[in-house]
Amino acid sequence: MPSPVIEQIQGSRCPQCRTAVVPPARFCPWHPVAMAPISLAGLGEIVTFTTLHSPPEGFRSPLHIALVELQGGARLVCHGEATRGIRIGSRVAIEAVDRVYYFAHLGALDRARLFWRRAGRRGERLEAIARSWAKRLWKGRGRDTGE
Amino acid sequence: MASVWISGAGMTPFGRRPQSLPDLMADAAGAALTASGIEVPDAIVVATMNPEEFLGEGNFASRIATHLGFAYVPAIRVETATSSGAAAIYTGFTAVASGAARSVLVVGGERMTHLPTPRVSEIIGRSIDPYERSYGATMPALAGLITRALMARSGLSAREIAQVAVKNHANAVGNPYAHFRAPVALGAVMTSRLVADPLRLFHCCPISDGAAALVLTASRAAVRIVGIGQGADALAVRHRQELTSFRATQAAAKAAFAMAGFSADRVEVAEVHDAFTPFELIALEDTGLFPPGAAGRATLDGETALGGRLPVNPSGGLKARGHPLAATGIAQVVELVWQLTGQAAGRQVSARVGLAQSIGGLATNNFVTLVEAS
Q: State whether residue B72 sits within 8 Å of chain A by CB.
A: no
Band of pLDDT at residue A27, cut at 50, 70 and 90: very high
Band of pLDDT at residue A31, cut at 50, 70 and 90: very high
The residues near B45 (Cβ < 8 Å, ≥ 6 apart) are B75, B76, B77, B78, B88, B89, B91, B92, B95, B104, B105, B106, B107
Judge whether B179 and A87 are in contact, CB under 8 Å: no
Judge whether A29 and A21 are in contact, CB under 8 Å: yes
Chain A residues contacting B, CB < 8 Å?
19, 21-23, 29-30, 47-59, 63, 65, 67, 75-79, 83, 88, 100
Omega before A62 within 30 of 0, i.e. cis: yes
Per CB-CB distance under 8 Å, the chain B contacts of A53 are 193-197
Q: Which amino acid is at B101?
A: A
Residue A110: predicted pLDDT: 67
Distance from C-alpha of A46 to C-alpha of A9, rounded to nearest angstrom: 16
The residues near B331 (Cβ < 8 Å, ≥ 6 apart) are B11, B14, B85, B177, B210, B212, B315, B321
What are the C-alpha distances in Å from A59 to residues A63, A77, A98, B204, B333?
A: 7, 15, 15, 21, 38
Q: State whether residue B132 sits within 8 Å of chain A by CB.
A: yes
Residue A57: predicted pLDDT: 80
More confident site: A127 or B373: B373
Judge whether B323 and B109 are in contact, CB under 8 Å: no
Q: pLDDT tens across B37-56, in order?
A: 999 999 999 999 999 999 99
Write the DSSP symbol of residue B236. S
Lowest mean per-residue pLDDT among A10-24, A99-113, B104-118, B140-154? A99-113
Mean pLDDT per 10-residue section of chain B, whose length is 374 residues: 96 98 98 98 98 96 98 98 98 98 98 94 94 95 98 95 98 98 98 97 98 98 98 97 95 98 98 98 98 97 98 98 98 98 98 98 98 96
Rg of the Cα trace of chain B?
19
Per CB-CB distance under 8 Å, the chain B contacts of A49 are 145, 148
Residue B150: predicted pLDDT: 97
How many residues appear in chain B? 374
Residue A112: predicted pLDDT: 65
Residue B17: predicted pLDDT: 97
- By Cβ distance, the residue of B140, B193, B239 closest to A29 is B239
Calculate what percentage of chain B has a pLDDT beyond 70. Answer: 100
pLDDT tops 80 at residue A7:
yes
The residues near B56 (Cβ < 8 Å, ≥ 6 apart) are none
Residue B344: predicted pLDDT: 98
Residue A85: predicted pLDDT: 85
Judge whether B198 and B211 are in contact, CB under 8 Å: no
Q: Which residues of B60-79 are buried (b: 16+ CB within 10 A; e: fewer)?
A: bbbbbbebbebeebbbbbbb
CB–CB contact A50 B148 (8 Å) = yes
Band of pLDDT at residue A132, cut at 50, 70 and 90: very low
Band of pLDDT at residue A144, cut at 50, 70 and 90: very low
Judge whether A38 and A146 are in contact, CB under 8 Å: no
Distance from C-alpha of A3 to C-alpha of A9, rounded to nearest angstrom: 15
Q: pLDDT tens across B90-124, in order?
A: 999 999 999 999 999 999 999 999 999 989 998 99
Judge whether B198 and B147 are in contact, CB under 8 Å: yes
Torsion of CA B20, B22, B26, B27, to 10 degrees: 20
Q: Which residues of B259-295 are buried (b: 16+ CB within 10 A; e: fewer)?
A: bbeeebeebbbbbbbbbbbbbbbbbbbbbbbbeeeeb
CB–CB contact B135 A78 (8 Å) = yes
Judge whether B89 and B104 are in contact, CB under 8 Å: no
Looking only at the bridges linking them, the beta strands covering B103-110 and B353-358 are unpaired
Q: State whether residue B140 sits within 8 Å of chain A by CB.
A: yes
Nearest to A9 by CA among A58, A107, A76: A76
Q: pLDDT tens across B253-288, in order?
A: 999 999 999 999 999 999 999 999 999 999 999 999
CB–CB contact A52 B144 (8 Å) = yes
CB–CB contact A52 B141 (8 Å) = yes
pLDDT tops 90 at residue A83:
no
Q: By CA distance, what is B121's nearest residue in A?
A: A56
Residue B78, CA atoms < 13 Å, CB-side half-sphere = 28
- By Cβ distance, the residue of B140, B145, B199 closest to A48 is B145
Per CB-CB distance under 8 Å, the chain B contacts of A75 are 238-239
pLDDT tops 60 at residue A1:
no
Distance from C-alpha of B55 to C-alpha of B326, rounded to nearest angstrom: 14
Omega before A55 within 30 of 0, i.e. cis: no
Judge whether B17 and B209 are in contact, CB under 8 Å: yes
* Residue A109, min C-alpha distance to chain B (Å): 27
Q: What angle do CA B290, B294, B299 make, to 5 degrees?
A: 90
- By Cβ distance, the residue of A56, A76, A100 closest to B118 is A56
Write the DSSP symbol of residue B325. G
pTM of the shown model:
0.91
CB–CB contact A53 B193 (8 Å) = yes
Judge whether B177 and B316 are in contact, CB under 8 Å: no
pLDDT tops 80 at residue A131:
no
Q: Chain-wide mean pLDDT for chain A?
A: 80
Q: Which residues of B116-130 are buried (b: 16+ CB within 10 A; e: fewer)?
A: eeeebbbbbbebbbe
CB–CB contact B136 A67 (8 Å) = no
Band of pLDDT at residue A135, cut at 50, 70 and 90: very low
Nearest to A49 by CA among B319, B243, B121, B161: B243
pLDDT tops 60 at residue A87:
yes
Q: Which amino acid is at A114?
A: L
Residue A48: predicted pLDDT: 97
Q: pLDDT tens across A60-82, in order?
A: 899 999 999 999 899 999 999 88
How many interface pairs between A and B have CB atoms less than 8 angstroms apart?
Answer: 89
Q: By CA distance, what is B125's nearest residue in A?
A: A56
Q: By CA distance, what is B242's nearest residue in A?
A: A47
3-state secondary structure of A65: strand
Handedness of CA A79, B138, B86, B178 (dihedral sign): negative
* Residue B63, min C-alpha distance to chain A (Å): 32
Band of pLDDT at residue A114, cut at 50, 70 and 90: low
Distance from C-alpha of B16 to C-alpha of B112, rounded to nearest angstrom: 9
Distance from C-alpha of B282 to C-alpha of A85, rounded to nearest angstrom: 28
Name the β-bridge partners of B276. B204
Residue A84: predicted pLDDT: 83
What are the C-alpha distances in Å from B202 to residues B147, B184, B227, B332?
A: 14, 9, 33, 21
CB–CB contact B131 A23 (8 Å) = yes
Mutate to test the interface with B, among A48, A98, A100 (most CBs of B within 10 A): A48
Write the DSSP symbol of residue B339. H
Q: Which amino acid is at B76?
A: I
Residue A115: predicted pLDDT: 58
Calculate what percentage of chain B has a pLDDT beyond 90. Answer: 98
CB–CB contact B149 A48 (8 Å) = yes
